[in-house]
Structure 1
Amino acid sequence: MRFKWVWLFVIMLLLAECQSSYWVLEKDRIDEVPDIKSYVKDLQMHDDVKGYQVFTISEGKKMVVVSLGSNDKAKKLEMSDVKFSPKETIVTVTRKPAPKANEKNPYILIGLDKIEGDLIVQDESGDRFEETDDQQ
């Protein structure tokens, strides 16, 4: 009987480690994070801003806002992958055609449980986004 409890505990630990440590916040939930809502509003007014900005949200988790700038307003961003290593966290996004261009500056909201080492934000081709100046 004790052996079953040990196995159950081990399985629970493995499942906890397998949980995704990133997510995409739906844009209709942006009211939940006022600082980010303000930043996104600025992105739409300053549509030449291309890059990413990192915000700390609840419980030390991070939110990465990636924007394409007005040159790519016919595109949208989708989450591709996040890879963690002790030296770096690599966030990869994919550019897709937007069915209708309803944003002056397309963006995506990526939540991360943690950032390990240097943060690299790139597209599917390996082109890196630069961190933006948060003083718009």
Structure 2
Amino acid sequence: MRFKCVWLFVIMLLLAGCQPSYWVLEKDRIGEGSPDLEIYANYLQMHEDVKGYQIFTISEGKKMVVVSLGRREKDKKLEVSGVKFSPKETIVTVKRKPAPTANEKNPYILIGLDKIEGEFIVQDESGDRFEETDDQQ
């Protein structure tokens, strides 16, 4: 009986490891992702009206999504509420929270994804979608 429980536990761990995942990259580690990320983050601070998201390919084909709020919401910060992966779509949901100190002209978040499948959507908790920016730094 104990042997079966151990195998069941191992199988559950393996299945959990097969699921795509996400992470939030701390801004002080931005240089670890790709040189383009740091350039884009600086661009956002100089172009405060840019609101939306931009996708970057980082190491091993993984993706980094930079979501920005624009200067009208410089007193806010973003957090990830959840990420839903399916063959048809990848949905990233973010929520706005008050920022204890407004130290950015254009608040942004760096969200790493193992992969993107199907339609890609970035939305807030109300379902309002962010548009992909066409701003090139």
- TM-score of the aligned structures, taking structure 1 as reference length: 0.90
How far, CA to CA, are the matches of 2:39 and 2:89 in structure 1? Answer: 28
Structure 2: 5+ residue runs without aligned partners? none
Which residue of structure 1 lines up, in the alignment, with residue 29 of structure 2? Answer: 29
Q: Give me the identity figure in percent.
A: 73
**Cα distance in 2, alignment partners of residues 4 and 123 from structure 1:** 41
Structure-2 separation of matches of 1:8 and 1:71: 49
Corresponding residue pairs, total: 135
CA offsets per residue over residues 91-128 of structure 1, 9 Å max, x none? Answer: 00000011110000000000000001010000111110
CA shift at 1:6, angstroms?
Answer: 5.4
Q: TM-score, normalised by structure 2?
A: 0.90
Counterpart-to-counterpart distance in 1, 2:95 and 2:82: 9
Q: Secondary structure at the match of 1:105?
A: coil
Aligned-residue CA RMSD (Å): 2.0
- Partners of 1:22 and 1:105 in 2: CA distance: 23
Name the structure 2 match of 1:101: 102
Q: Over residues 35-72 of structure 1, what are the superposed CA-to-partner deviations in whole Å (9 max), with x where a residue is unaligned? A: 10000000000000000000000000000000000000
Residue of structure 2 equivalent to 1:128: 129
Aligned-residue offset at 1:16: 1.5
